[in-house]
Copies of this chain bind each other. A is one copy, B any other.
């Protein structure tokens, strides 16, 4: 990363649970500074004043979006507000960093992508997990052939709460895994089936998604706001090796198994020949850097170098399309939805 010649002024809209972390990380990026923080909630603004003594705060997003001194806007608000805020930011010539999921609908996502291209501005969707040491290490093991062809990705992402007001558990938790699979595999998502249940008259609090990919790759995501224990465990089966990723482990997040199976079909009905392989396990060291620090730095680099990030609007759109399909399937108790 070069030294940036001009300072990038960032506005942060939304200072609730995640906004303070976004602001703190952007402010730590060399060549960046948080210039305005905006939130409708007076208590949040009060907190922002304490956290960033010299920084302007406001409850009026319009003034932020039209402020000539702002280069980029970080949108850290509920998903149903993303489109309107991002559209106004782009219209006013500002780059956009937006929380996942990108938008509420794929149509909105397409419009923002088109607008950004017309204005030559960058959109980055905050798929934070793609910047963790664990996911980067897994990607490396896909790229260098360690895992071999991927058979399945199976993730369990459950805990107690937090219940969201505006979305169900799938829109809340599944974007993480859908974005990770999108990042890991070159196979194409073909079809989604989803099921789940709402126990409190509102949004689903338990959800299960299966995505069929090309080349017999399958992904499954289990999300749940009603679990007594927190689980963040993913199994990844490859032709050559298999992987367990437990993100709650402090030290050994990834375990790579020299295990597998080879099957040769014989001629008779009972001639299925299966051979099993079982060998060592290996826990590669995973970088401990904070993902959000890397991601905010990358955003600043992309702006400085006028490069499109890999987690751009199109990446965000692919995840929104999967979520739309999952939602549609969920409402019909599993009818598969083609992509």
Residue positions of A touching B, CB distance < 8 A: 53, 151-152, 154, 156, 158, 160-163, 165, 191, 193, 195-202, 206, 208, 210, 212, 216-218, 220, 222, 224-229, 235, 237, 242-244, 248, 250-252, 255, 257, 259-261, 263, 265, 269-270, 272, 274, 276, 278-285, 329, 332-336
Contacts and interface: CB of A to CB of B under 8 A. Distances in A.
B244 A229 contact: yes
B242 A235 contact: no
Contacts of A255: 228
Contacts of A235: 158, 224, 227-229
B272 A165 contact: yes
B226 A237 contact: yes
Nearest to A194: B334
A329 to B, nearest CB: 7
A283 B283 CA distance: 8
B261 A160 contact: yes
A216 B272 CA distance: 42
Task: From A162, A228, A244, A280, name the one whose CB has the most chain B CB atoms within 10 angstroms.
Answer: A228
Contact of A154 (B222, B242, B284): B222
A284 B191 CA distance: 40
A333 B191 contact: yes
Nearest to A279: B285
Contacts of A261: 160-161, 163, 225-226
A161 B280 contact: no
Contacts of A279: 285
A193 B195 contact: yes
Please state the number of chain copies in the assembly.
4
Given A163-B263, A226-B151, A235-B227, A272 B193 contact: no
Contacts of A217: 197
Given A208-B220, A252-B281, A280-B282, 4 more contacts: A152-B224, A226-B242, A227-B242, A228-B243
Contacts of A285: 278-280
30 contacts: A151-B226, A152-B226, A154-B206, A154-B224, A156-B156, A158-B235, A160-B259, A161-B276, A191-B333, A193-B334, A196-B210, A197-B216, A200-B263, A200-B265, A206-B218, A206-B220, A208-B220, A224-B237, A226-B237, A226-B242, A226-B261, A228-B243, A228-B259, A229-B235, A251-B281, A278-B285, A279-B285, A280-B283, A283-B283, A332-B336
A257 B229 contact: yes
B161 A193 contact: no
A152 B206 contact: yes
A270 B210 CA distance: 31
Nearest to A258: B285
Contacts of A206: 151-152, 154, 218, 220, 237
Given A156-B156, A335-B335, A151 B281 contact: no
Task: From A160, A222, A282, name the one whose CB has the most chain B CB atoms within 10 angstroms.
Answer: A160
B334 A163 contact: no
A218 B193 contact: no
